[in-house]
Amino acid sequence: MATSPNHRTPPAFDSPVPGLAARHVAREAVATLLGPSRGLALEDALAQAGRGARLEAGEAALARAIATASFRRLGFIRVALAARLRDGLPEDRPHLLALLVTGGAQILDLAVADHAAVDLSVRLAKADPQLQHLAPLVNAVLRRIARERDAIRAEENDPLAHNTPDWLARRWRAAYGEETARRIAAAHLEGAVVDLTVARDADIWAERLGALRLDLGSLRLVEVRDSVAELPGYGEGAWWVQDAAAALPVRLLAPAPGERIADLCAAPGGKTAQIAAAGATVTAVDRSGVRLERLGRNLERLGLSAEVVTADALGLPEDAPFDAVLLDAPCSATGTIRRHPDVAWTKSESDVMRLSGLQRRLLDKAARLTRPGGRLVYCTCSLEPEEGGGQVTHFLKRNPDFQRIAITPDQLAGHAELIDASGDLRTLPSHLAGGTGRAGGLDGFFASVLRRRD
């Protein structure tokens, strides 16, 4: 198979064929992440791919669903394609690979008619000057995938071995053991539900939304048929979207009315909202002005206020330390794979090593921003030990004026399984009653509660 450059200008695209533009956007976004731009998030890749497409809301949702499904089962899909391509996967042609992957995802994972998935993928190939001569190949491979769908699905019996990058599988086996690592990988195939945090009247909103009230404090939507913004209570600011695990660090921080609290790396703002709703005076700090604009809009909708500071947290003045500091540090985000499956395939072990250095510097800075007797909660949405307990262990050696405050099951509604051997919070995607599936699951989160000695 002839090679072509990875970098190219995407073909101009404008088609009246229903569903074709959405599939074009999905293909372009997946190609971007399978190519050299692996550091980009899927949402950003979709936004970039959709700039000239003018998609309706339903088409944009379809593009997102196809792209997400492509990464959720990317390992399985790659194996299925490789077995049906004479020359193996076209690794050097990300746009062809993405076309086959998105077509395969529709057939294997989405409620899309086989003929639509195949026909529209072939149309995309014919519309692309660099791929049009390969349209017969796309047609033949995807038709075979459709014919052999049941056999392919029957082979999806080991998500840790077949649908998890080797570097992550190795790490999770070492950190959590074989059985738990397998449960984590299985949970990622289930996807994530929508959890909400409410400022008050949780029982009332659970009834109005038909939501399950988790004993951890969040509401879980069993099914979301409409846009979240169309649900009762959104416009009046009664709740905000936040994974149940992501809400726990602030609950462990236990902000009190009148306290001065810093929320470092605060965007998009769910934790800022929790702190403000508790009556504390919160300073929300983030480097990204764009992300802070979104935070500001969310606070306005919720009727909450905060001092919003666009700055690198490492450069904040230390002359007026806070009663408490929350540091949700930048991390590899491997705890969010059930919600953002692209993370598994766009991050690498070098990202963990690189980010751990930044976390160390931010944690030391957060310590200097905490007054004597004050509290510091360090958290990450990562499953990697270097970004969680390992950071705290080294931090306490460098900062003997801090001590770890062990979390108790009572603080987590009796969920002792969410506390690790050191007394820190450690949630896994497979946690909650029922394990995986729509009734359970959490983002993978780590949090440690630290106190500065008086």
Tell me which amino acid residue 426 is. Answer: R
Strand, helix or coil at 265? coil
Q: What CA–CA distance (Å, rounded) separates 430 from 185? A: 9
For the annotated catalytic residues, the residue numbers are 381
Tokens for 106, please give them: 């529709």
In sequence order, the β-bridge partners of residue 327 are: 264, 378
Among 149, 153, 152, 173, smallest CA distance to 161 is for 173
Asked, as a colleague might, if the bond just before 268 is cis with ω within 30 of 0, I would say: yes
CA dihedral over 65, 211, 245, 424, signed as positive or negative: negative
Q: What CA–CA distance (Å, rounded) separates 77 from 153? A: 10
Strand, helix or coil at 309? strand
Q: For the chain, state the CA radius of gyration.
A: 23
Phi, psi angles (nearest 5°) of residue 355: -75, -30
Q: What separation in angstroms does the CA of 54 have from each of 21, 24, 120?
A: 9, 12, 18
Q: Give the DSSP H or E segment for 374.
A: strand 370-380
Q: What CA–CA distance (Å, rounded) separates 284 from 286? A: 7
DSSP 213: E
